[in-house]
Amino acid sequence: MLLHSSSAACLSSLGDHRSYSNHSASATLFLNFNRRSFPLPALKLRMSSAPARSSQIRALTISSERKDDLPMHVVTGTKVGVLGGGQLGKMLCQAASCMSIKVLTLDPLENCPASGISYCHVVGDFNDGEAVRDFAKRCDVVTVEIEHVDAVMLEKLEQQGIDCQPKASTIRIIQDKYLQKVHFSRHGIPLPDFFEIDNIESAEKAGSLYGYPLMIKCKRLAYDGRGNAVAHSKDELSSALTALGGFGRGLYVERWTPFVKELSVIVARGRDGCISCYPVVETIHKNNICHIVEAPADVSQKIKELSLDVAQKAVGSLEGAGVFAVELFLTGDGQVLLNEVAPRPHNSGHHTIESCYTSQYEQHLRAVLGLPLGDSSMKTPAAIMYNILGEDEGEPGLKLAHDLIGRALKVPGASIHWYDKSDMRKLRKMGHITITGSSMNIVKSRLNSMLNNDQSQTAVIPQVAIIMGSDSDLPIMKDAAVVLKNFDVPFEVTIVSAHRTPDRMYSFASAAKDRGIQVIIAGAGGAAHLPGMVASLTSLPVIGIPIRTASLDGVDSLLSIVQMPKGIPVATVAIGNAANAALLAVRILANGDAKLWDRVVKYQEDMKETVLTKAEKIEHEGWEEYLKS
């Protein structure tokens, strides 16, 4: 077994016992400074018979009055062992550093992504039972960033008192996708129909039962499209089975699911069984590999609630704490079917680092350590995660990736994550880019600009729409435009008539949010139906401006706007006071924009100073002289 660390503290990272070796062979310890490893000369290390999980360990375990008297590990000095040192392990290390949690990683590669920043990196196979056992005994809690580990050894370790989260029973179920399907089926989770096959006759029977195309999958070691094959007819069965390695691999089939979208829910489960779900996202795949994640998913509230319900039930049927990714199919008839579950942080949750109050990585650490779960809601209206997949092998692929990163650095709201993998391969996950913004339309526009290297697509997107029923309203509505311009708020001005162009009004209101509009200012005179009709078609705030008319001097317009039925709110201002409507829109936007908030505060301070200056002048000069000036 090989060890190295990001600092000399690796010696003490193995508990308070300062020696480490294998019973049958001495280990080699490496210290890593700037990722340069070198052996300590003639170092002989011996393993103590007592594990570091003794009373000498600096991390404390305290009793809790929560359900089942579950332990909660104090953060400082706590050692979390992670089986796997890939990009997920790296991002776990990054989240852990903020809370001074020490993460030890076990991975076959010396220079895996997590090795450069983990508290101590152990080079060893996570399918090697002895390596896993020796590693686990040096940790307060053991978790995974990849499910393809030695679950049998984890079960034995649990019996010896090692704290594994999630439980080995969960890892064992998830490792075998057929066993996973059986488990969730028994718990009433909606799934595509599935069928185990062990010979050509059973495969043909499945084809007759489910029809074609037919999805054939390996039970184990199937991910990112590997281990899956599609037979479009009975004649293709043989070639599909051969491509998967034959029945010796362990195979099953699924009824083909004609989904319209692939969705995902990240679910956190605490040691006490409490569950917190992140918003439903849509995943878009390239060559069966997750390529783009849109958060939140553009689906109805009903579908979101159904997705969350399926995800919670699925995770609730498993044992142990941690973050789980629940991948789902949305069918054309509105069904939400479970595809599969990952018992760890997941690609579909990368965006949470920038878009949510608590990232999936911090949440996983909170969960496995028995700490209170964090807020899983989004702190930005929209986010897109773009996986940087290898476009070519070696140096040409690296150049393409670095060119993309160079463009991303110029994109507002973009955050870049480079995994620093040792070599570039085609379709390999090398990093990701997350773009956040005030609407999905905005972040999509920024993504397209980055991908196409087209700066024209980064044009300013209006946040406020000023609409009116006729150009005769423009002399009043211009005051709103002047205020927004002074506050440097991007806006658009157009004519939308509720009576003369109802179709235009419908399309405008329905698409406003997706275009990035956050507030609508609608001016109307007479019957004044425009503000209310627009408010009934969008969830955006609508501010109505009563326009003065010759017949009733604008009172009819004001009364029409304020008498909206319950459930269709429209704000309004004094007759003809478009400036106040714009100021209200600015205040609404300023709640989520610190710079705009400062401008609002300065505007109020300037008004105060103006009044005080006038008061001082009139008091000093007297009212008669004041009027003369």
- pLDDT, average across residues 333-347: 96
Residue type (1 letter), 89? G
Query: Domain map of the chain by residue range?
Result: 2-164, 193-255, 259-452, 464-590, 594-623
What is the residue whose two structure tokens read 């849509």?
282
Q: How confident is the model at residue 374 (pLDDT cuts 50, 70, 90)?
A: very high
Residue 120: closest CA among 11, 41, 44, 34: 11
Residue 204 has pLDDT above 80, yes or no: yes
Could you name the CATH architecture of 2-164? 3-Layer(aba) Sandwich (3.40)
464-590 and 2-164 share a CATH fold: yes
Fold of domain 193-255: Dna Ligase; domain 1 (3.30.1490)
CA 401 from centre of chain: 22
| Separation of alpha carbons 143 and 83, rounded Å | 6
Query: What integer pLDDT is reported at residue 373 of this predicted model?
Result: 97
Q: Is the pLDDT of residue 31 over 50?
A: no
What is the amino acid identity at position 75?
Answer: V
d(CA 504, CA 493): 14
CA 295 to chain centre: 7
What CATH class does 464-590 carry?
alpha beta
Beta pairing, strands 429-437 & 382-389:
antiparallel
Which runs of consecutive H residues, i.e. helices, occur in 372-473? Answer: 394-408, 440-452
pLDDT tens digits along 269-321:
999 999 999 999 999 998 889 999 999 999 999 999 999 999 999 999 999 99
Q: Is 270 exposed, middle or buried (0-12, 13-18, 19+ CB in 10 A)?
A: buried
Among 369, 427, 376, which Cα is nearest to 400's? 427
Helix, strand or coil, per DSSP, at residue 414? strand
How far apart (Å, rounded) are the C-alpha atoms in residues 284 and 292? Answer: 5
Residue 220 confidence (pLDDT):
87
Global model pTM greater than 0.75: yes
Report the CATH architecture of 259-452: 2-Layer Sandwich (3.30)
